[in-house]
Structure 1
Amino acid sequence: MRTRHATRRTAVTMLTAAALTLLPVAGGAALTGPPAHAATAGPHSTASQRDHDHWQGGWATSPQAPAAPFGPNWSQQGFADQTVRQVVRVSTGGTRARVELSNRYGSTPLRITGATVARTDNGASVRSGSLRQLSFGGHRSATVPAGSELTSDALPFRTEALESLTVTLYLAEPTGPATFHLISSSTSYRAQGDHRSDRAGTAFTETSDSSYYLTGVEVSGGRTTGGDGVVAFGDSITDGVGSTPDADNRYPDELAERFAATGKPRSVVNQGIAGNQVTQDTDWAGEKAVARFRDDVLGEPGVGTVIVLEGINDIGAGGTGAVGTPSPEVSVAQLIAGHRSLIRQAHAKGIRAIGATLTPIGGSAYDSPVNEAKRAAVNHWIRTSGEYDAVADLDHATADPADRTRIAPAYDSGDHLHPNDAGYHAMAESLDLSGL
């Protein structure tokens, strides 16, 4: 069992896919059954102390504070004598697995009464004979202090790349508001009472489009020993808004499929948050990118490369306050300074930073002459400054050849901002795997 206090909180207790879009830049390489007792979390470990050796992220998501900007979910009320079951797809496989749970934004200690992992069958059902109990410091239950995160004990559990796993948590005691991820692109299931060991999904009669407490599934014993993992870091276009739910069609999912198709799967994890901004916190879309980068990228095991696709919300939401608290307007200089901070943080940990150009906004709610000029200026800097190690020209990959300020009609989810499945596929196809 591994516990750590989140750096963001004070702890308590313990598109047409035209050309290759990875471009060389100046200064960068050219690219074409334990006892059922409770465990109490002990002293925390920092990101630099984590036992990352040979572990890689199979799946991950960024934790968010409880909020309901687009309609009801389970985060604000939390859980009491309920079981929550969540399905994730791992990008790479191994012979051992462990899960990370987050109480980063909880106001009280989180009691995990019990947890299981299994191979997914269909919906909330799991495959017969695959269900295993998770343990925490040798115990079936655990307490996660407010502001902290907890990783389960390593479990012998063979997984294959692109395999779907089901993680189930039984929460007997009232949790209070829940740390969650708003847009999970996969369905979560809830049942009344203790159904953590159910194979069938019939008891899970409630569903949600968000995920709760679960922030990572890590694997070891696979084909690689770590150090080559990829983190996709960004906003809603990384998070997969506009893609088909439960289909794993976000661009990082598609990128993982490309690696797997070569016979050499690699860790690809998605640390996108819809609505996230580079330069400023929001009341529902997470901490600013320059702050959360430490946990969401540097805190991931086995990372070698980060793809940064961030900034369109700084441009489009600045001064509008379309959802939640109004955000001050952000200048191009401020946005570039934020990107430079991300690059410095990555390089300080030996991680390669790939800058992704901002995708088109023409015809969307963000469209204006001022915003388009800012987007063009930021993209010009990403393409020409040489400060990123390489460039992923996702603007070029998704733009309409007839009007490059707009997303191509075939790639448009309908809001003229977010790609659809075909658009996310084009984004992933445009990346040069050898440059990652």
Structure 2
Amino acid sequence: MSADNFTTAWTAAPQAPSEGFTPNWSREGFWRRSVRQTVRLTAGGGRVRIRLSNAYGTSPLRLAGASVARTASGAAVEPGSLRRLTFAGAHEVAIPARGQILSDPAELAVAAGESMAVTLYFDAATGPATFHAQAFTRSHRGPGDLLADVTGAGFDAVTESWYVLSAVEVDAGRADGVALFGDSLTDGFGSTPGADRRWSDALARRTGRPVLNAGIGGNLLLNDSAWYGEKGVNRLARDVLDHPGVDTLVVLIGVNDIGFSETDEQPTYHPAPLVEPAELVDGHRELIRQARERGLRVIGATLPPFGGSDHWGEHAAKVSHELNEWIRGAGEYDAVVDFQRLLADPADPDRLHPAYDFGDHLHPNDTGFEVMAEAVADVLSQGVAPALGQGVAPALGQDMAPALGQGLAPALR
């Protein structure tokens, strides 16, 4: 918890500018344009501040101004709620190359579950801009200084990415935040765009706790990617551990490390690295080590079934099974949520249940994400030693194993 009592209420993990598979404005950047971005807060308070990232900028990024407001609809904001932001007392600021800045707090009452608009105005050419590729909600762009535009009429273009903005913090005075760390399964691919149906959203609704979504679509645990962000073992500190108010980390990552070697459709890797179970285990152990050094409780999640997807094949099957067995049975996580068994098709446990399948046999749909959130909420409600329940397993030591049950970890062999 930070000394000034602020809690992170929303995050987006920064990525290097790229076109990838999501059309966006990151490579062209901004010049004499405003960008209005909508975020859904998972904690409330009377003051807000924003964190801006130039993590992948090679020169200082000039920001001519910024404002926040409660959203109305589309690019419009609630009249009377608009607040101009300052940075160390000034309206203008330069974000250092490879750096980030935090705004001064602004007086604005916001509630958990409420949407807030953040508007940034760039009067000088930014060059390629640090961004987050897949927002699954609309951001708006328009010419000139639109910081005070209440109606949203000045914005004439939309995208589904976030730019420069990496966090919103509120003076909630809370230290019970939950950070979800992973790839597209966490980022929200498969959820209904604009509806806030990611499993991070569902978890915030179920628990009432601040929830940070630190997922990046396509992200890998062990390898960097021009499209899909820095490898997980390197970005955890920036994207989770350095945010105030977090006490629990949930790890769900590895499916792309395993699956990219099975597909020819991802031009980021030709050929993809062939990853073995022991390498992934070492990566998970590194995440656990980093989080525990900061005093966080760490929950491990097994990889959901992905048989029949473009990530599946003989090697992927072997590695995913062995990794999931380690997550379930090694006793190295404080608790385990068994998504593999919880989301499986009873007729074929290597495949997602049809009721939970977005359609690509890899990503859950809105219903599947709700099931995932419910399982994690059950673990969180139990504290450090969760009681056994459907789809939930505690971290197992060598001298204990639960009785077999639906969705539970099997006894150690």
- Whether the TM-score (by the shorter chain) exceeds 0.5 is yes
CA contact (8 A) 1:182 1:209 kept: yes
Give the Å deviation of 1:319: 7.0
Q: Which of residues 255, 267, 271 is equivalent to 1:323?
A: 267
Give the Å deviation of 1:56: 1.1
User: Do the aligned partners of residues 319 and 52 (structure 1) sit closer, same or farther apart at CA in structure 2, a change above 3 Å counting?
Assistant: farther
In structure 2, give the amino acid aligned to 1:358: L
Structure 2 residues without counterparts, runs of 5 or longer: 384-413
For the pair 1:427 / 2:372, whether they are aligned, the reply is: yes
CA contact (8 A) 1:319 1:328 kept: no
Q: Secondary structure at 1:126's aligned position in 2?
A: coil
Number of the residue aligned with 1:114: 65
Number of the residue aligned with 2:222: 279
Q: Secondary structure at 1:355's aligned position in 2?
A: strand
Q: Which of residues 266, 291, 294 is equivalent to 1:349?
A: 294
Q: Which moved more, 1:81-90 or 1:425-434?
A: 425-434
Query: Following superposition of structure 1 onto structure 2, how do residues 261-276 of structure 1 map, counting pairs within 5 Å?
Result: 265-276=208-219
Number of the residue aligned with 2:175: 227
Instruction: Measure, in 2, the Cα distance between the counterparts of 1:319 and 1:179.
Output: 30
Q: Which of residues 68, 76, 79 is equivalent to 1:125?
A: 76
Q: Which of residues 110, 114, 133 is equivalent to 1:159?
A: 110
Number of the residue aligned with 2:133: 182
Q: Secondary structure at 1:342's aligned position in 2?
A: helix
Give the Å deviation of 1:164: 0.3
In structure 2, give the amino acid aligned to 1:324: T
Higher RCO, Cα 8 Å, sep 6+: 1
Q: Secondary structure at 1:318's aligned position in 2?
A: helix
Instruction: Measure, in 1, the Cα distance between the counterparts of 2:371 and 2:192.
Output: 15
In structure 1, give the amino acid aligned to 2:225: T
Number of the residue aligned with 2:326: 381
Q: Secondary structure at 1:190's aligned position in 2?
A: strand
User: Do the aligned partners of residues 319 and 429 (structure 1) sit closer, same or farther apart at CA in structure 2, a change above 3 Å counting?
Assistant: closer
Instruction: Measure, in 1, the Cα distance between the counterparts of 2:287 and 2:382.
Output: 19
Structure 1 residues without counterparts, runs of 5 or longer: 1-49, 260-264
Q: Which of residues 288, 300, 303 is equivalent to 2:231?
A: 288
Q: Alignment identity in percent?
A: 49
- How far does the alpha carbon of each residue in 1:168-202 deviate from its partner, in whole angstroms, 9 at most, with x for none? 00111100000000001111100011111100112
Number of matched pairs:
379
Number of the residue aligned with 2:257: 314
Q: Which of residues 274, 299, 305 is equivalent to 2:242?
A: 299
For the pair 1:169 / 2:120, whether they are aligned, the reply is: yes
CA contact (8 A) 2:262 2:311 kept: no
Number of the residue aligned with 1:3: none
In structure 1, give the amino acid aligned to 2:350: T
For the pair 1:142 / 2:93, whether they are aligned, the reply is: yes
Instruction: Measure, in 2, the Cα distance between the counterparts of 1:404 and 1:209.
Output: 34
CA contact (8 A) 1:319 1:329 kept: no
For the pair 1:241 / 2:192, whether they are aligned, the reply is: no
Number of the residue aligned with 1:15: none
User: Do the aligned partners of residues 140 and 273 (structure 1) sit closer, same or farther apart at CA in structure 2, a change above 3 Å counting?
Assistant: same
Q: Secondary structure at 2:203's aligned position in 1?
A: helix
Q: Secondary structure at 1:430's aligned position in 2?
A: helix
Instruction: Measure, in 1, the Cα distance between the counterparts of 2:147 and 2:334.
Output: 45
- How far does the alpha carbon of each residue in 1:346-381 deviate from its partner, in whole angstroms, 9 at most, with x for none? 111100110000011111001112211111110100
Instruction: Measure, in 1, the Cα distance between the counterparts of 2:267 and 2:78.
Output: 41
Give the Å deviation of 1:286: 0.6
In structure 1, give the amino acid aligned to 2:34: T
Q: Secondary structure at 1:354's aligned position in 2?
A: strand
Number of the residue aligned with 1:83: 34
Instruction: Measure, in 1, the Cα distance between the counterparts of 2:44 and 2:154.
Output: 30
CA RMSD for the aligned pairs? 1.3
In structure 2, give the amino acid aligned to 1:288: K
Give the Å deviation of 1:137: 0.4
Query: Following superposition of structure 1 onto structure 2, how do residues 28-47 of structure 1 map, counting pairs within 5 Å?
Result: none
